Structure 1
Amino acid sequence: MKPSSLLLAIAMGVALPARSADPVLGRATVIDGDTLEISGERIRLHGVDAPESWQACGDGDGGTYRCGRQAALELDRFLAASRPTRCEFVERDRYRRVVSVCFRADGRDVNRWLVESGNAVDWERYSKGAYADAQELARARGAGIWRGEFQLPCRARAKRAAREPSC
């Protein structure tokens, strides 16, 4: 692309091709329950949706807890057990984050674990049901958010922003 074309594309907000499909590898810092950072690169975990850090869920005993905060803490513990983390590029999202499926050093699929442990839901709109079996397992066990009542994260975000949910 010529420099003048590049400047025009940037000025018009046109999406440019993703810079690389190479995996991102390193020590992951947890930003929230479905977002990591490795070497300065924000990574949104593909096909899963974790509660927001401010989101409250039912604990199954009539109380509530900050399930988004809990999901982030659990993810941090899970990643710390086997470092480094490797993230395989899927696409870039509208916020220009890398969207990936990530793996611990021992090969465990981080995205699948989040759903299986009840710390996120299968976001079928993007995963095409890749984690549906993991979600059913979490639901059957009453794991994580499935132990009580909760609002789907995409619906909670939409409600907070006073807009229609896109999930």
Structure 2
Amino acid sequence: MVLDMIQARLLLGAISITCMLAVTGSAANARTVSGTAYVRDADTIVVSGTPVRLSGIDAPETSNRYGREAHAFVERLLRGQTVTCELSGDRSYDRWIGICYIDTTNGVADVGAIVVANGHALDCRRYSGGRYRDLEPHGARSRLRQASYC
């Protein structure tokens, strides 16, 4: 009887640990980071040491001209700014996925929306739900190549 109670408690403990590990997924890791940003490329920044993949946009890689132009644009955009990112809790490689904002004279602005609206990235409908599609300037899709994962 005592052995059964010990086994039951061990089993209950193992189940509790398993449940806690399962909860450490996306919802448990949702958080906000804020600070200055280092720009890796037009859709990946590092805010206060946290790598963030801008959710819902697809920017060209820095291996081509458009990617280098996009990188330079985002560096200029974020220089001297405090960037606040709302992380979803999801990850892509070493990066957290999030929507990042900066303060502007008109209020708070979505960094991804600014990058898309200025022709340096495309809406990645698979992850944005089309949130940025209407911001794409005319001709952006003919100039920038859409990644297959979008």
| TM-score in terms of structure 2 length | 0.75
Greater percentage in helix: 2
1:6-155 equivalences in 2 (<5 Å): 16-18=24-26, 20-55=29-64, 66-80=65-79, 83-106=81-104, 107-135=108-136, 138-139=137-138, 142=139, 146=140, 149-152=143-146, 154=147
Deviation per CA, 1:57-116: give whole Å up to 9, x if none. xxxxxxxxx1101101101111126x1000011232241421111101331110100110
| Aligned residue-pair number | 130
SS at match of 1:93: strand
- Once residues 114 and 131 of structure 1 are traced to their aligned partners in structure 2, the CA distance between those partners, rounded to angstroms, is 10
How much is the aligned-residue C-alpha RMSD, in angstroms?
Answer: 2.5
- Once residues 89 and 133 of structure 2 are traced to their aligned partners in structure 1, the CA distance between those partners, rounded to angstroms, is 21
- Once residues 44 and 109 of structure 1 are traced to their aligned partners in structure 2, the CA distance between those partners, rounded to angstroms, is 13
SS at match of 2:99: strand
- Once residues 114 and 33 of structure 1 are traced to their aligned partners in structure 2, the CA distance between those partners, rounded to angstroms, is 8
Partner of 2:149: 166
Q: Give identity over the alignment, percent.
A: 33
| TM-score in terms of structure 1 length | 0.68
Larger-Rg structure: 2
- Once residues 88 and 117 of structure 2 are traced to their aligned partners in structure 1, the CA distance between those partners, rounded to angstroms, is 21
- Once residues 77 and 92 of structure 2 are traced to their aligned partners in structure 1, the CA distance between those partners, rounded to angstroms, is 28
Greater percentage in strand: 2
**Are 1:29 and 1:36, in contact at CA under 8 Å, matched by a contact in 2?**
yes
**Are 2:55 and 2:127, in contact at CA under 8 Å, matched by a contact in 1?**
yes
